[in-house]
Amino acid sequence: MSYFSNISSAITTLIDGMKVTLGYFVRPREHVTLQYPDEVWPIPTRNIGVGEIESYNTIRSKLVVDFEDCIGCKACERACPVNCIHIETFKAGPEEDIGTTKNGTKIKLRVTSFTIDMSECMFCDLCTHPCPEDCIRMTPDYQFISNDNVKLDVTPEERWRDRDHLIYQFSKVFPIERAQRQAEAEKVAEAKAAAMEAKKAAAERAASEKAAEQALEIETLTATPMESVASEAPVVTESPEVPVDQAQTTSSTLDRAPIEDDMVRVNLSMEIPVTPDIPVETPPSSEATAEPETSTDTEDSSKGETENG
């Protein structure tokens, strides 16, 4: 009789199963699906660590830098065990006032580049403690994805956050401005050096020619180098050839420099501005010269073939 008991148990168990599924079908509001971008789980606020510091006891995720307070001391860069923070600074001019931090410290270094590679970051929180101005901190924001940079035809200014979404550029200095400032800094340094040399030469000449007592010629000779040093910038903009060379040199140095260190990925995405005259003009001219020749060639050959045929 196991045959009939088999059939009856099959029927009863099947009906039991159908009851269960129908019960879930008529209560669809109990679903477990989370429609992720529209709704998210709440971030747990419980104490996950044992430290006394507040930031250690919460969720640690995306690093954020309050860039206005950064003094460029590179303490976080040195503290990082995986070297994912990269900072570039140079000294500000003596009269230049960059500002002060929220703690009242005067900022003495220009930070041209402050990048954090979030794909390498291991969220250890070690970089936040050495910061003297408390400007780098970890936030509970865990959503690294963004569609800001999906469009590829953005200008370099718009692309200050890297297209890989995970290299964050915190300095407000855009590549163009960065190159300009670097050039400015070089100019300032050159001007300083030139001024120093001129001063030295002037002092030497003054010393030697005081002994010779030729007052009129001395004044004119000393005045010219000082004037040229002071009015170097306007002179440069007036003459067309000089700035092109300068811009090219600066850009080429910027291009080559990062290949040697860890900054390769960051700098590859940045478009360092070259003066637009040279690359824009040359390709069309070469194409314009190339195109007619090839077309005439093909026409001639086709004509020849048809004639032969």
Partner 1 sequence: MIQLLANWILSFDILSGMGNSVAWGLSLFVVAALIFVFVALNAIVLVYIERKVSAFMQVRLGPMRVGKFGTLQTVADALKLLQKEDIIPKMADKVLFVVGPWVILVASVVTFAAIPFSDTLLAANMNIGLFYVVSISSIVVLGIVMSGWASNNKWSLYGAMRSAAQIISYEIPVGITLIAVVAVVGSLNLQTIIEAQGGTSNLFHWIPIPLPNWFIFHNPFLFMAAFVYLIGATAEINRTPFDIPESESELVAGFMTEFSGLRWALFFLSEYANATLVAFLVAIVFLGGWQSPFADYRGTQIGFSIITLVAIMWTLFVRAKTSRLSVYPVGLSLVITISAWLFPGFAIWMASPGIFWMLMKVGTIIFMLMWFRWTFPRLRVDQLMYVSWKVLLPLALINLMGVAIWMWLTGEIQF
- Distance of alpha carbon 182 from alpha carbon 236, whole angstroms: 17
Tell me the two tokens of residue 135.
């400007």
Between 27 and 256, whose beta carbon lies closer to partner 1? 27
Min dist CB 30 to partner 1, Å, is 6
By CB under 8 A, the residues from 57 to 96 that bind partner 1 are none
Min dist CB 165 to partner 1, Å, is 22
Is 216 one of the binding residues for partner 1 (CB under 8 A)?
Answer: no
Is 18 one of the binding residues for partner 1 (CB under 8 A)?
Answer: yes
Neighbour tally for 73: CB within 10 Å: 18
Strands 136-138 and 63-65, bridge-based pairing = antiparallel
- Distance of alpha carbon 89 from alpha carbon 209, whole angstroms: 44
- Distance of alpha carbon 157 from alpha carbon 172, whole angstroms: 10
Q: Where are the beta strands (DSSP E) in the chain?
A: 63-65, 85-91, 109-117, 136-138, 167-169
Between 30 and 213, whose beta carbon lies closer to partner 1? 30
Between 19 and 256, whose beta carbon lies closer to partner 1? 19
Between 28 and 94, whose beta carbon lies closer to partner 1? 28
Is 14 one of the binding residues for partner 1 (CB under 8 A)?
Answer: yes
Among 7, 40, 82, 193, binds partner 1 (CB under 8 A): 7
Read off φ and ψ for residue 124, nearest 5 degrees.
-85, -15
Between 17 and 132, whose beta carbon lies closer to partner 1? 17
Element counts in the chain: helices (H) and strands (E): 8, 5
Over the window 21 to 40, marking each residue x when it contacts partner 1 by CB under 8 A and - when it does not, the resulting string is: xx-xxxxxxxxxx-x-----
Between 18 and 48, whose beta carbon lies closer to partner 1? 18
Min dist CB 151 to partner 1, Å, is 22
Task: Write b or e for each residue in 210-246: b if 16 or more Cβ atoms lie within 10 A of its Cβ, otherwise e.
Answer: eeeeeeeebeeebeebeeebeeeeeeeeeeeeeeeee
Min dist CB 25 to partner 1, Å, is 5
Is 147 one of the binding residues for partner 1 (CB under 8 A)?
Answer: no
Min dist CB 21 to partner 1, Å, is 4
Rounded to 5°, the CA angle 162-168-170 comes to 120
Contact region with partner 1 (CB under 8 A), list: 17-25, 39-47, 67-75, 285-293: 17-25
* Positions that interact with partner 1 (CB under 8 A): 3, 7, 14, 17-18, 20-22, 24-33, 35
